Amino acid sequence: MARVPRNFRLLEELEKGEKGIGDGSCSYGLEDSDDILMSHWNGTIIGPGHTVHENRIYSLKIYCGDSYPDRPPTIAFLSRVNLPFVQVDGKVDPNKLSVLANWSRNSSIETILVEIRREMASFNNRKLPQPPEGSVY
């Protein structure tokens, strides 16, 4: 199989993100629309229903380095959240989130956001006490 280089891969992801993915509960885009290296991204997750996260909107920062997608991006929450894989400064611990710990080239910004949202709704996390809505790191 042809190995899609970083920049063309990120262009594909950008185009997909611009069109909107799934039911709109996760979205992402470039932080700066003329970032020619496409390194800095914003992500948004709408908290899953029937959990403590319901109706909350979480903002995240995503950084895709030079070796993306061979290496995973780094992810940090801007909105405060209490989850076992999020450190006190908002950074997502790559060892504690399986999509990052078991990173593959087939994973993407989208699959990360979708997995984080799924984790919010998991049995262990859905009732964790949360910081005040709207607070940021």
38 binds another protein (CB under 8 A): yes
DSSP code for 43:
E
Instruction: Compute the distance between CA of residue 72 and CA of residue 64 in angstroms, rounded to an integer.
Output: 7
36 vs 88, which CB is nearer to another protein? 36
Question: What is the Cα–Cα distance from 28 to 62, expressed in whole angstroms?
Answer: 9
62 binds another protein (CB under 8 A): no
Looking at the Cβ atoms of 48 and 73, the one nearer to another protein is 73
Per-residue string for binding with another protein, 16-35, x by CB under 8 A? -----------------xxx
Q: Does 67 bind another protein (CB under 8 A)?
A: no
Fill in the amino acid letter for 60.
L
CB atoms within 10 A of CB 136: 10
Which of 1, 50, 123, 132 lies at the binding interface for another protein (CB under 8 A)? 1
Angle at alpha carbon of residue 104, lines to 78 and 87, rounded to 5°: 30
C-beta of 100: minimal distance to another protein in Å? 24
What is the C-alpha to C-alpha distance for residues 42 and 78, in angstroms, rounded to an integer? 10
Contact footprint for another protein (CB under 8 A):
1-5, 7-8, 11, 14, 33-36, 38
